[in-house]
């Protein structure tokens, strides 16, 4: 490879010694030429020599949150100099290290850099413009998709008709064709990772789970540095060594990054509903892995639901391995045949595994002009996006946000997202807690009138809960303040639980499948909540951290409710915590129920009289 094809990079400190932390690879790497030091033009030629620039968060105005992943948040941002609007994916360094995701982050950068620069990019694949970092975060600057996730549109409409499904399936096929020709398999194709640009065409994104399956096809980008080549090799070696060691106990632990040799065997990565059987078996993976996910995605576009569904990941993965799914009665015949030939356990006989022409020539794609698909008119299913809407937001200088991503900016962005949810989706936690979580006084004689009214309201709600809520039998006759399904991660899998925040305070969690009380989060004065993004939050206790994921994206509301209950019952929590520590019972799970006890509970529930009492 000639010097002109090398990728130039600026070091944070070129004079430093040779031992460099692996995350220093995120010093600003621009992946295209731009005379005005901005992030345009949007087209690049393979082999173009690139200048070196420094980038930092203070050079961007962060406008709003576009979406969230397992360990990242994507923002809409406007470059201060040049005014270009981009998507900026932000990853917390401490999360990357703590959860052993360093390999995924490095892999994503390598793959995106190769696809965007060495291979010249593709209209249906997200393009990386630059990466940089600061002491707390890593940043990927990429294309922006104004219509958001395909999943969001699918949820809004319920399902797509066959022509719409055909169009987006065809564009996904073309995107995968490009990625596979570059020696890369995506491994996490799903409606959430298909974004829609302003022009209505797709953009395949999120290459954190991607893997190189053919090193003869993959062209790794090379970096030009002011330092000697030996220093670059030492940095690479140190990066790869740390990446390998950091993944020894992770979910994709056998994906060794050492020397950036791209192992083809892999354990389960990606999203459970779309993961292929060969991934679950730990077999070698290749393009058929993505074709399986394509089949699941087409099924969901037409039916409105994923083909494999279960109450938890364990049962879900069993269904995948047994090919346990069924088409709805109204599912059209041609798409049904197409999906049936993709959702095949053996990847060798899966449609497209030997020749993509077989897949593209299926009757489902009749009428698709594969040579001109980039210029085909997309379906008219999106509300209009006014041109320049982001720039218009910044024209009033009084309200112009400051550049950067400090705590004030994060609070502003969080509040903006809550406002965009609309009042119907928001929960007034303060009023709900004040109106329901009433301490019952021991002396009712001197009770003020307002407290009597509050107690009466509480009693009415409790009576209704006894009659109508099947989870009442698990909460010790306490009033439920907040409830909802939460995915609780422990070990390899996340298990869905019904979480019940009650007066007292208590935070119970129940297996909704077996209707078994699995445990209670122990309260203490040092207990604290931590919001990672709208879906993810942690509850820190002295003995354990609870890793929780809310599928309804109400993490902030859960944390606020828990924190308010902690303040309200502060004295009681302190007393019970001191007593439990003294007795040695703090954090003990006292709620393991035998099968007989569970049956007794269900019998009691079924025999509840008309008043709701047992």
Nearest to 559 by CA among 545, 539, 541: 539
CA dihedral 385, 387, 390, 391 (to 10 degrees): -170
Structure tokens, 234: 């030492």
- Say which CATH number the domain at 341 has: 1.10.510.10
* Band of pLDDT at residue 229, cut at 50, 70 and 90: low
Check residue 55 and give its pLDDT: 85
Nearest to 32 by CA among 23, 41, 24: 41
Check residue 46 and give its pLDDT: 56
Of 333, 367, 386, the residue at which a domain comes to its end is 386
The DSSP symbol for 194 reads: E
If one counts the domains in the chain, the total is 3
- Say which CATH number the domain at 545 has: 2.30.29.30
Q: What's the chain's length in residues? A: 614
Cis preceding-peptide flag for 505 (omega within 30 of 0): yes
- Say which CATH number the domain at 127 has: 3.30.200.20
Mean local confidence (pLDDT), 118-143: 91
Cβ-in-10-Å burial (0-12, 13-18, 19+) of 585 comes to: exposed
The DSSP symbol for 224 reads: E
Give 32 or 467, the one with higher predicted confidence: 467
Residue 443 falls within a domain, yes or no?
Answer: yes
- Cβ neighbours of residue 371 closer than 8 Å, sequence gap 6 or more: none
Nearest to 109 by CA among 180, 29, 186: 29
Whole-prediction pTM value? 0.63
> Same domain, yes or no, for 166 and 22?
no
Give 611 or 526, the one with higher predicted confidence: 526
Report pLDDT digits (tens) over 25-71: 454 444 433 333 333 334 455 544 333 557 899 999 999 888 877 67
Residue 257 falls within a domain, yes or no?
Answer: no
Average pLDDT, the chain: 76
Check residue 223 and give its pLDDT: 53
> Same domain, yes or no, for 297 and 411?
no
> Same domain, yes or no, for 491 and 556?
yes
Report pLDDT digits (tens) over 405-450: 888 887 777 766 655 544 434 333 334 433 444 444 434 344 455 4
Q: Which domain holds residue 507?
A: 429-606
Comparing 142-156, 435-449, 496-510, 550-564, which segment has the lowest mean pLDDT? 435-449
Residue 265 falls within a domain, yes or no?
Answer: no
Report pLDDT digits (tens) over 13-27: 333 333 334 454 454
> Same domain, yes or no, for 445 and 548?
yes
Give 91 or 49, the one with higher predicted confidence: 91
**One of 103, 188, 313, 511 is an active-site residue; which one?**
188
Residue 239 falls within a domain, yes or no?
Answer: no
> Same domain, yes or no, for 297 and 446?
no
> Same domain, yes or no, for 307 and 410?
no
- Please state the three-class secondary structure of 411-456 as a single string: HHHHHHHHHHHCHHHCCCHHHHHHHHCCCCCCCCCCCCHHHHHHHH
CB count within 10 Å of CB 215 equals: 13
Check residue 53 and give its pLDDT: 57
Nearest to 11 by CA among 290, 325, 304, 225: 225
> Same domain, yes or no, for 373 and 487?
no
The DSSP symbol for 26 reads: G
Mean local confidence (pLDDT), 332-358: 96
Check residue 600 and give its pLDDT: 46
Share of the chain above pLDDT 90, in %: 38
Question: Does residue 262 surpass a pLDDT of 50?
Answer: no
Residue 493 falls within a domain, yes or no?
Answer: yes
> Same domain, yes or no, for 440 and 505?
yes
> Same domain, yes or no, for 525 and 467?
yes
Check residue 382 and give its pLDDT: 81
Check residue 235 and give its pLDDT: 44
Give 308 or 222, the one with higher predicted confidence: 308
CB count within 10 Å of CB 252 equals: 21
Residue 439 falls within a domain, yes or no?
Answer: yes
> Same domain, yes or no, for 566 and 581?
yes
Residue 220 annotated in active site: no
Residue 589 falls within a domain, yes or no?
Answer: yes
């Amino acid at each position: 490879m000639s010097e002109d094809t090398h990728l130039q990079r600026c070091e944070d400190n070129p004079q430093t010694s040779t031992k460099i932390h692996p995350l220093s690879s995120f010093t600003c790497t621009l992946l295209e030429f731009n005379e005005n030091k901005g992030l345009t033009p949007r087209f690049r030629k393979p082999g173009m020599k690139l200048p070196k620039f420094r980038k930092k968060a203070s050079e961007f105005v962060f406008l709003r949150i576009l979406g969230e992943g397992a360990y990242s948040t994507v923002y809409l941002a406007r470059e201060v100099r040049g005014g270009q609007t981009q998507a900026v994916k932000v990853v917390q360094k401490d999360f990357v290290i703590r959860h052993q995701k360093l390999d995924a982050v490095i892999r994503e950068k390598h793959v995106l850099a190769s696809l965007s620069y060495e291979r010249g990019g593709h209209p249906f694949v997200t393009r990386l413009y630059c990466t940089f970092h600061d002491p707390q975060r890593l940043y990927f600057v990429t294309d922006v998709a104004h219509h958001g996730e395909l999943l969001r549109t699918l949820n809004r409409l319920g399902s797509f008709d066959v022509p719409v499904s055909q169009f987006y399936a065809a564009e996904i096929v073309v995107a995968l064709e490009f990625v596979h020709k570059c020696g890369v398999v995506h491994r996490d194709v799903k409606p959430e990772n298909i974004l829609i640009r302003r022009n209505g065409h797709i953009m395949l994104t999120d290459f954190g789970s991607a893997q190189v399956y053919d090193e003869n096809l993959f062209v790794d980008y090379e970096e030009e540095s002011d330092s000697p080549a030996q220093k670059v090799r030492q940095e690479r070696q140190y990066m790869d060594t740390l990446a390998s060691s950091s993944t020894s106990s992770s979910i994709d632990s056998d994906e060794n990054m050492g020397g950036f040799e791209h192992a083809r065997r892999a354990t389960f990565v990606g999203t459970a509903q779309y993961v292929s059987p060969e991934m679950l078996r730990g077999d070698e993976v290749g393009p058929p892995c993505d074709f399986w996910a394509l089949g699941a995605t087409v099924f969901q576009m037409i039916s409105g639901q994923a083909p494999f569904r279960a109450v938890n990941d364990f049962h879900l993965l069993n269904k995948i391995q047994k090919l346990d799914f069924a088409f709805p009665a109204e599912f059209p015949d041609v798409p049904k045949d197409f999906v049936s030939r993709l959702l095949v356990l053996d990847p060798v006989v899966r449609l497209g595994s030997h020749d993509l022409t077989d897949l593209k020539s299926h009757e489902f794609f009749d009428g698709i002009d594969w040579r001109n698909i980039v210029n085909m008119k997309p379906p008219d299913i999106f509300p209009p996006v006014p041109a320049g809407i982001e720039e218009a937001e910044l024209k009033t200088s009084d309200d112009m946000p400051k550049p950067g991503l400090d705590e004030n900016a994060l609070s502003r962005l969080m509040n903006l997202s809550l406002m965009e949810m609309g009042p119907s989706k928001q929960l007034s936690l303060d009023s709900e807690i004040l109106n329901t979580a009433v301490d019952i006084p021991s002396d009712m004689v001197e009770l003020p009138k307002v407290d009597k009214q509050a107690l009466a309201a509480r009693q009415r709600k409790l009576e209704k809960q006894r009659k109508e809520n099947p989870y009442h039998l698990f909460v010790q006759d306490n009033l439920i303040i907040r409830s909802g399904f939460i995915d609780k991660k422990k070990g390899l899998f996340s298990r869905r639980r019904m979480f019940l925040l009650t007066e007292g305070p208590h935070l119970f969690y129940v297996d909704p499948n077996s209707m078994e009380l699995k445990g209670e989060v122990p309260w203490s004065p040092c207990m604290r909540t931590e919001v990672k993004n709208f879906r993810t939050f942690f509850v820190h206790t002295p003995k354990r951290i609870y890793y929780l994921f809310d599928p309804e994206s109400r993490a902030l509301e859960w944390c606020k409710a828990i924190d308010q209950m902690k303040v309200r019952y502060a004295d009681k929590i302190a007393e019970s915590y001191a007593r439990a520590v003294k007795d040695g019972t703090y954090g003990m799970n006292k709620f393991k129920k035998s099968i007989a006890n569970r049956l007794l509970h269900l019998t009691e529930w079924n025999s509840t009289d008309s008043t709701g009492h047992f």
